[in-house]
Chains A and B, each alone.
Chain A
Amino acid sequence: MDKITSLGRRLFLQKIMQGVGYSALGIVAWSAFLSKSQAKSLTLRPPGAILENEFISTCMRCGMCVQACPFDVLQLATISDSAPIGTPYFIPRTNACRLCLDIPCASACPTDALDLKRLTLNDTLSINNAKMGLATINTQSCLAYLGLQCTMCIRACPLADIAIVQHSERNPRTGMHAFLKPVINPDFCTGCGLCEQACPTEITSIKVLPLYISQKNIGSHYIIGWKKEDEVRLKNTPTDVTMEKTKRNERSAIDNVNDIEGILK
Chain B
Amino acid sequence: MSNFLFKNRFFLSRRAVQLLVLSVYFLANAYGLGIVSGNLSSSVVFGTIPLSDPFTALQMFFAGAVISADILAGVLVVLFFYGVIGGRFFCSWVCPVNIVTESAASIRRWLDFGEKESPLSLSRNIRYWIIAISLGLSFIFSLAAFEMISPIGIAHRGIIFGFGFGWFFIIAIFVFDLFSQKYGWCGHICPLGGFNALIGKYSLIKVVHDKDKCILSMECFKVCPEVEVLNMVGKKSHIVTGAECIKCARCIEACDSGAFQVSIVGIAKQLRG
Contact = CB atoms under 8 A, between A and B. Distances in A.
B163 A23 contact: no
Chain A binding surface SS class: helix
Given A60-B56, A110-B74, A53 B157 contact: no
A67 B42 contact: no
B29 A61 contact: no
B65 interface: yes
Given A61-B153, A84-B148, A110-B52, A34 B143 contact: yes
Contact of A80 (B50, B67, B74, B164): B164
Given A37-B143, A85-B153, A78 B71 contact: no
Given A34-B137, A37-B148, A110-B68, A81 B164 contact: yes
B133 A27 contact: yes
Interface in B42-88: 42-44, 50, 52, 56-57, 60, 63-68, 70-71, 74
B161 A27 contact: no
B143 A57 contact: yes
Contacts, number: 133
B157 A34 contact: no
Given A67-B28, A110-B71, A80 B165 contact: yes
Nearest to B122: A22
A31 to B, nearest CB: 7
B238 to A, nearest CB: 30
Contacts of B144: 57
Contacts of B157: 61, 63, 76, 78, 86
Interface residues of B, number: 49
A111 interface: yes
Interface centre among B52, B137, B141 (most CB of A within 10 A): B141
B41 interface: yes
Interface in A84-128: 84-86, 108, 110-112
Contact of B38 (A19, A31, A67, A85): A67
A183 interface: no
Nearest to B144: A57
Nearest to A108: B37
B8 interface: no
B148 A111 contact: no
B129 interface: yes
A33 interface: yes
Nearest to B138: A57
B169 A79 contact: yes
Given A62-B39, A86-B153, A110-B42, A57 B64 contact: yes
Contact of B43 (A19, A23, A62, A78): A62
A76 B161 contact: yes
B137 A67 contact: no
Nearest to B62: A57
Given A63-B29, A75-B161, A79-B164, A110 B44 contact: yes
A63 B141 contact: no
Contact of A57 (B28, B29, B60, B153): B60
Interface in B104-145: 123, 129, 133, 137, 140-145
Interface of B: 28-29, 32, 37-39, 41-44, 50, 52, 56-57, 60, 63-68, 70-71, 74, 123, 129, 133, 137, 140-145, 147-149, 153-154, 157-158, 160-166, 169
6 contacts: A30-B145, A33-B149, A38-B143, A62-B41, A110-B38, A110-B68
